[in-house]
Structure 1
Amino acid sequence: MDQVRYPILTEKAIRLLEKNQYSFDVDVECNKTEIKKWIELFFDVKVTNINSHRLPRRKKKIGAITGYTVRYKRMIIKLRSGYSIPLFSNE
């Protein structure tokens, strides 16, 4: 459950929502089959396809210290027609 960090809401991700595709940042060590099982179990949906890629590292400088931002893997999950994932709670 800790492997999926949070949903992504960028301009591209919003365009993909129209095609029933959802974007999530996940832990770097997890794979597609683990994420597919978790999404299907937690949201009670049927996943047809998963695409994944690693985001490029970005330098971050705080004072004299230079480091890199935390890396995540981004997964684009396509659902079967008729299914959807609620991204926002109704509360």
Structure 2
Amino acid sequence: MNATPRINDERLYDIVRSPVITEKASLIGEHGQVIFRVPLDATKPEIKAAVEALFKVKVKAVNTLRTKGKVKRFRGTLGSRSDSKKAIVTLAEGHSIDVTAGI
């Protein structure tokens, strides 16, 4: 298996931007998963290393999904939302992250 990449401390805080707090996110939280917003250029090994370092937990798997920005109208003018990326982090058995508390 590949070794965990070395990441400096500033990049750790850039990778994990914020937790996603929605009804769906709280439902999968019961299964030991947490959803975070991450930058578009973040890779799965980087996300795993950042979550393990910041929250002191063991990560079992990382799944990512990219959402293309929609074109929306606002007061008759066209605008577009920016692209975004989310990471669904599955934690190892016995580990948990309280997203309501800060780092």
Normalising by the smaller structure, the TM-score range is 0.7 to 0.9
The answer to whether structure 1 residue 17 and structure 2 residue 29 are counterparts is: yes
Q: Which moved more, 1:2-11 or 1:19-28?
A: 2-11
| Amino acid in the other structure paired with 2:45 | T
Q: Unpaired runs of 5+ in structure 1?
A: none
What is the match of residue 80 of structure 1? 92
Identity %: 34
TM-score by length of 2: 0.78
Q: Unpaired runs of 5+ in structure 2?
A: 1-12
What's the CA shift string for 1:21-42, capped at 9, x where partnerless?
0001110011101010010001
Tell me the C-alpha RMSD between the 2 structures. Answer: 1.6
What is the match of residue 29 of structure 1? 41
| Amino acid in the other structure paired with 2:65 | H
SS of alignment partner, residue 14 of structure 2: coil
| Aligned mates of 2:16, 2:72 — CA distance in 1 | 24
Q: Which moved more, 1:55-64 or 1:79-88?
A: 55-64
Q: Which has the higher helix share?
A: 2
Aligned residues: 90
TM-score by length of 1: 0.87
| Aligned mates of 1:89, 1:18 — CA distance in 2 | 17
Q: Which has the higher strand share?
A: 1
| Aligned mates of 1:70, 1:3 — CA distance in 2 | 17
Shift of 1:62: 3.6
